[in-house]
Structure 1
Amino acid sequence: MFRRAAAGNNDSSLLHATIMPASRTRTALLAAMTLLSSLGCGKHAGPKLVDYLEEIEFDVPLETASYVSLGKFDIPIAATQKPTDAAPDVAPDEAFWMRLQFELTAETDPDHEAAVAAEAESHRGAMSDAVISVIRTSSVDELADPRLSAVKARLTEVARPMLGADRVRQLVLNEFDADAIEHADAAPKKEAAGGHH
């Protein structure tokens, strides 16, 4: 593979050029291994939770948050529940009514509070329709989630473009209450309960 230069010929550059790349590679590899081994020899403790928590930067402290009300909602929805181990006698897909009551607010920076409030007022009808649509298309499991993660994500997805995506930090559901509405035949009539006939 290697051609040797003739003794009296100045063609030794061919031999030198052919061998040097392999020797340079070997030297570079040896230097890299030496460097890595010297770095790895010392005992270095991994990052601690305290160090991680100190490095976290919060964008804005909670004390500087402003909240803009997007409305109070009282939404009746028809829902179905699947039988579970706790309630095996529930008929599959038996419909029942639920009433969800909550106040929806947008968390924002105090500098953006007026702009978010103005956008909320100008889009009040569309916002109300979007909120009702999201709630009514949510599953019982999504509505039963204590954090309402999926519901809030979908509400945020429709609300941010209306209010200004860069202005809204998050949506908050205050005073959330979900009650099952009794079947009409099981609930006492108002007249009978009040004594009026």
Structure 2
Amino acid sequence: RDDPIPAPWTVKGKARIQQLGLVMQYPPDKETKASEEPAKDATSSKGKKRKTSDNSEVSSGSKKARLSTSGYQLDSATKEAMAADKVNIKVWTVCEQAVLQGYQSFVSIVESEFSCICCHELLLDPVTTPCLHNVCRLCLKRSFNAQVFACPACRHDLGEKYNMPINDKLFSALKLIFPGYRGTAAK
């Protein structure tokens, strides 16, 4: 491994998983291992009485309660970068509410809120238009090359001479939240 983050199977890795509130995600069509085991028991105990204990429900409920109370804490640099982006303050407020649900939820909300309306990817060299929509600079250039001089989200006229400034404050906040995020801007 070439990254400084501890492997998930080590003691430090398991502590980090618990700190961030990470949970295993399975595709909707796959069952978890825990749900497969009772299915096997049910077929082998055909004709016998069921046990009345609901330990599996209690343990999963307590885990959810523990995760929601622990929450994920943003570091001060990320908070400062989010606060510095005054143009997108409403969007950052929505993202901050997801922090209490854990790291995965926070990152998921940030990714969905700051995805480009054209390419549906995380914003690459984000441009915040006067109508407060965020678009990739390359996508906006492509739109202008097609003689469409309007915001891709709301069709607000931007004018032919719009210079497409990169929102550096949003760019720096996204770099802190997504470690592999680079963009093409020389930073």
Give the structure-2-normalised TM-score.
0.22
Which has more strand, going by share of residues?
A: 1
Give the structure-1-normalised TM-score.
0.21
Larger-Rg structure: 1
The higher relative CO (CA closer than 8 Å, separation ≥ 6) is in 1
